[in-house]
C-alpha cells in the first residue's frame, strides 16, 4: 500500500513538473485584454430622432484590462488585473456613461497547454454615471459589492488567449438621482488577451 501511494505521489509530481514545462513564455507574463460584455439591469434608455434607441446597462459593454499572469506550479496559475469597464451613449446634444475600475484576482487550472478554467473575485472602484447636455443632471456615484468571476480561456497561440466568462456583481447608488437604488451588474463576456511573453 505504501509503495502504491509513493508511486502515485511520484507520478503526480512528475506530471505536474512536465505540465509546468509545457507552458511557453515563462512564469510571469504581463498582458493586455479587450472584452465585450452584456448583461445587468437597465440604468437608462434613450430614444433618438431617427426612431432608434439605446440602453445603458450596469453590466455592459467594453472592458479594457492590464495585468500579470503567474505560473504557480504544475497546472496552477494566478492572474491579477486592473480594468476600465464602461457603457455609454453619445449624442449631438448630450452624453451619458456608466464606468467603473475593476480589480480582479483569479486562479486557474490548466487542463492542457491550450485550455484552462478558473475563477476568483472582482472588486470595482470609482463606479459612477457621467452625464451632460439634455441628459445632464444624472451624475451619481455607486458602491460596488465584491463580485465573483468564472471563466474559461483558450490559447490558439501561446501569446493569444480567448476568454469566455461570467461575472456576478452588484451596485448601489450612494448619491445623486440613483441614491439608494440597487442595480445588478452581472454579465457575460468574450475577451481577447495578448501576453507579452
Give Cβ neighbours of residue 13 (< 8 Å, ≥ 6 apart): none
Q: Name residue 35's beta-bridge partners.
A: 63, 191
Q: Considering the chain, what is the average pLDDT of its residues? A: 90
Burial of 68: CB neighbours in 10 Å, binned 0-12, 13-18, 19+: middle
- Kindly state the cell numbers that stand for 46: 434613450
Which range, of 4-13, 78-87, 151-160, 181-190, averages the lowest pLDDT? Answer: 4-13
CATH of the domain at 90: 2.40.160.20
d(CA 106, CA 69): 9
Give Cβ neighbours of residue 88 (< 8 Å, ≥ 6 apart): 56, 61, 95, 96, 97, 98, 99
pTM: 0.85
For 30-86, what is each residue's pLDDT tens digit?
999 999 999 999 999 998 776 778 999 999 999 999 999 999 999 999 999 999 999
Backbone φ and ψ of 181, nearest 5°? -85, 140
d(CA 7, CA 36): 47
Provide the 3-class DSSP secondary structure of residue 136. coil
For 123-133, what is each residue's pLDDT tens digit?
999 999 999 99
Q: What domain range is 154 assigned to?
A: 2-195
Q: How many domains does the chain have?
A: 1
Q: Residue 124: how many CB atoms within 10 A of its CB?
A: 24
DSSP symbol at 196: -
Q: Give the model's pLDDT for residue 80.
A: 99
Longest CA pairwise span in the chain (Å): 78
Q: Name residue 132's beta-bridge partners.
A: 95
Using 50, 70 and 90 to split pLDDT, how confident is the model at 23?
A: low
Amino acid at each position: 500500500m505504501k509503495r502504491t501511494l509513493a508511486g502515485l505521489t511520484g507520478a503526480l509530481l512528475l506530471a505536474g513538473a512536465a505540465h509546468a514545462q509545457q507552458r511557453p513564455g515563462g512564469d510571469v507574463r504581463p498582458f493586455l485584454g479587450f472584452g465585450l460584455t452584456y448583461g445587468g439591469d437597465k440604468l437608462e434608455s434613450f430614444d433618438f430622432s431617427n426612431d432608434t434607441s439605446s440602453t445603458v446597462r450596469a453590466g455592459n459593454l467594453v472592458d479594457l484590462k492590464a495585468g500579470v499572469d503567474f505560473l504557480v506550479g504544475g497546472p496552477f496559475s494566478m492572474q491579477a488585473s486592473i480594468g476600465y469597464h464602461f457603457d455609454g451613449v453619445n449624442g449631438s446634444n448630450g452624453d451619458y456613461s456608466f464606468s467603473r475600475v475593476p480589480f480582479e484576482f483569479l486562479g486557474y487550472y490548466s487542463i492542457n497547454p491550450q485550455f484552462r478554467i478558473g475563477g476568483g473575485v472582482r472588486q470595482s472602484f470609482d463606479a459612477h454615471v457621467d452625464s451632460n447636455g439634455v441628459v445632464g443632471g444624472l451624475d451619481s456615484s455607486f458602491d460596488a459589492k465584491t463580485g465573483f468571476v468564472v471563466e474559461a480561456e483558450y490559447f490558439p497561440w501561446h501569446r493569444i488567449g480567448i476568454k469566455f466568462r461570467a461575472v456576478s456583481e452588484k451596485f448601489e447608488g450612494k448619491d445623486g438621482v440613483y441614491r439608494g437604488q440597487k442595480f445588478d451588474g452581472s454579465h457575460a463576456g468574450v475577451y481577447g488577451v495578448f501576453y507579452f511573453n
